[in-house]
Chain A
Amino acid sequence: GAGVSQSPSNKVTEKGKDVELRCDPISGHTALYWYRQRLGQGLEFLIYFQGNSAPDKSGLPSDRFSAERTGESVSTLTIQRTQQEDSAVYLCASSRRQGNIEAFFGQGTRLTVV
């Protein structure tokens, strides 16, 4: 596609429910990143995928968070048993290959846990 596409744009969920966020990277981009941005805060790294290599999950804040990506295609970020502290914008970015290369962001998913 022309750019990184994320869905949904907005998600309101009740505390305790599971949510799934989707990211479709730019075609040909092998690297994919998920970040979280709380209101008024900086970008918080969550997870990194590179091709078929094992993902770098070092930024996931708890075991309620997980993500998958099949090959170089779509990625999904799942948050189980959501808490109010999970409310944030979840941003996905992709780049052509690993390291030292420009990363482009999707429009983000604004998650609100009520």
Chain B
Amino acid sequence: QKEVEQNSGPLSVPEGAIASLNCTYSDRGSQSFFWYRQYSGKSPELIMSIYSNGDKEDGRFTAQLNKASQYVSLLIRDSQPSDSATYLCALWAGGSYIPTFGRGTSLIVHP
């Protein structure tokens, strides 16, 4: 069973803080990992991809991957109210042609 686990939240952080979103997965053969942002009533929007262990930074976003521990995380620095959304973790499990999505973590950034 290929599973992606996320805490559903909501995760509430004050404006300007660092928001930390976590995702664990069960298939050690997973190779590619993605974070999507989904605003209420909208479709998922790809914001980060990461393929190798370590950190990948893009603006205020940092994705972290640890394949040995089977987790991937997303850090959002200087959180803004506009970051309030559901964040979906996705991956391609080993040998699969279909991305598997977690159920998402709801993030609320309050002023």
Contacts and interface: CB of A to CB of B under 8 A. Distances in A.
B98 A45 contact: yes
Interface residues of B, number: 22
B31 A100 contact: yes
A103 B99 contact: yes
> Which of B49, B99, B101, B102 has the largest count of A CB atoms less than 10 A from its CB?
B99
B12 interface: no
B96 A105 contact: no
Contacts of A43: 44, 88, 101
B32 A100 contact: yes
Nearest to B92: A100
Interface in A47-75: 48, 50, 56
A6 B50 CA distance: 28
Contacts, number: 51
A101 B31 CA distance: 10
Contacts of A103: 34, 46, 90, 99
B94 to A, nearest CB: 10
B82 interface: no
A57 B49 CA distance: 26
A48 B96 CA distance: 11
Q: Which of A50, A98, A100, A102 has the most CB of B within 10 A?
A: A100
B101 A42 contact: yes
Contacts of B34: 102-103
Interface string B53-89: 0000000000000000000000000000000000010
Interface of A: 31, 33, 35, 41-43, 45, 48, 50, 56, 89, 91, 98-108
Interface of B: 31-32, 34, 36, 42-46, 49, 51, 88, 90, 92, 96-99, 101-104
